[in-house]
Structure 1
């Protein structure tokens, strides 16, 4: 997929005491999200720690997945003027708290619950240790 967006987009830091981004979107992820937004409205991500597609971030219409005390807001993207939140289960965050996450897109079908599934694409996480 050739993307007109030139660079990754970092989320704003939101965790208390932190001034660095924990999560980014590749240009390809941004492009797919911009195509999905007119179809589904405002969007959000949630990364669980469960089995099956638990290692893939799930993209939902904003508010469709209810977050609570068991979740951590890792960052908020400004995607062409609209906010897009990235949440992770608190349990999963304990494993990944030393990593920077990048949301990317690959061809293939992910979970039927994530809004990109009908597009023949799926979001995935690429990670690197902070250092």
Structure 2
């Protein structure tokens, strides 16, 4: 719940257990990391994982939330404002699957790739987001 007891907190992003495990490995090897949801350029529309601060953010980016990966660590997730306009009604879950990772993303050498699983917010979730 947020400060107002009548408005539930709704997360825009989540992470699977498998992706959280890989993120803990990446944090151990690289220090803090971050995601930026690619807008379809070089690597399609993929969640790109970078050392925190290596991807330059600006006013054109929206902070979607932070992924709890355990061990008192979190990973911020960002998206361009123009892409957010299309995805604002969806909940995004970052997962990991076997395959070639995005060329610039930290998971590439591990033989896996991050991907987004999405679903529409429920009416109750959409109402809670609108109330914020």
Q: State the Cα distance separating 1:88 from its structure 2 match.
A: 0.6
TM-score, length of structure 2 as denominator length: 0.81
Structure 1 unmatched ranges of 5 or more? 1-12
Cα RMSD (Å) of the superposition? 1.8
Q: Deviations over 1:60-81 (max 9, x none)?
A: 0000101111100000133321
Corresponding position: 1:105 with 2:96:
yes
What residue number does 2:81 align with? 90
Q: Deviations over 1:22-46 (max 9, x none)?
A: 0000001001111111111101000
Question: For residues 8-87 of structure 1, what are the structure 2 equivalents within 5 Å?
Answer: 19-79=9-69, 80-87=71-78
The total of aligned residue pairs comes to 116
**8 Å CA contact retained: 1:47, 1:54:** no
Structure 2 unmatched ranges of 5 or more? 123-132
Q: Distance in 1 between matches of 2:83 and 2:38?
A: 6
**Corresponding residue SS for 1:54:** coil
- Report which of the two structures shows the higher radius of gyration computed on alpha carbons: 2
**8 Å CA contact retained: 1:100, 1:128:** yes
Runs of 4+ in 1 over 6 A off after TM superposition: none
